[in-house]
Copies of this chain bind each other. A is one copy, B any other.
Amino acid sequence: MDTKIRIGIVGYGNLGKGVESAIAQNDDLELAGVFSRREPGDLKVNSNAPVLRLNEIEKHVDDIDVLILCGGSKNDLPEQGPALSKLFNTVDSFDTHAKIPEYFEAMDASARPNGKTAIISVGWDPGLFSINRLYGESILPEGATYTFWGKGLSQGHSDAVRRIEGVKGAVQYTIPVESAVDKVRNGSQPELTTREKHTRECFVVLEEGADEAEVERAIVTMPDYFADYDTTVNFITEQQLKEEHSAMPHGGFVIRSGKTGEANNQVMEFSLILDSNPEFTSSVLVAYARAAYRLNKSGEAGAKTVFDIAPGLLSPKSAAQLRKEIL
Binding site for B on A (CB under 8 A): 18, 21-22, 25-26, 97, 100-101, 104, 121, 126, 128, 130-135, 137-142, 145, 260-261, 264-276, 279-280, 282-284, 287, 290, 305-312, 314-316, 319-320, 322-324, 326-327
Contact = CB atoms under 8 A, between A and B. Distances in A.
Contacts of A261: 18, 21, 276, 279
B135 A128 contact: yes
Contacts of A138: 287, 290, 311, 314-316
20 contacts: A18-B260, A21-B260, A100-B324, A101-B324, A128-B135, A130-B326, A132-B270, A134-B312, A134-B326, A138-B316, A260-B282, A264-B275, A265-B273, A265-B275, A266-B272, A268-B270, A269-B270, A270-B271, A307-B315, A310-B310
A326 B25 contact: no
A264 B247 CA distance: 10
B327 A100 contact: yes
Given A260-B18, A305-B327, A319-B307, A283 B126 contact: no
B128 A287 contact: no
A80 B130 CA distance: 36
A138 B312 CA distance: 9
A300 to B, nearest CB: 11
A290 to B, nearest CB: 8
A291 to B, nearest CB: 9
Given A137-B326, A139-B314, A266 B260 contact: no
A128 B140 CA distance: 13
A307 B323 contact: yes
A122 to B, nearest CB: 10
B266 A311 contact: no
Q: Which of A101, A267, A308, A326 has the largest count of B CB atoms less than 10 A from its CB?
A: A326
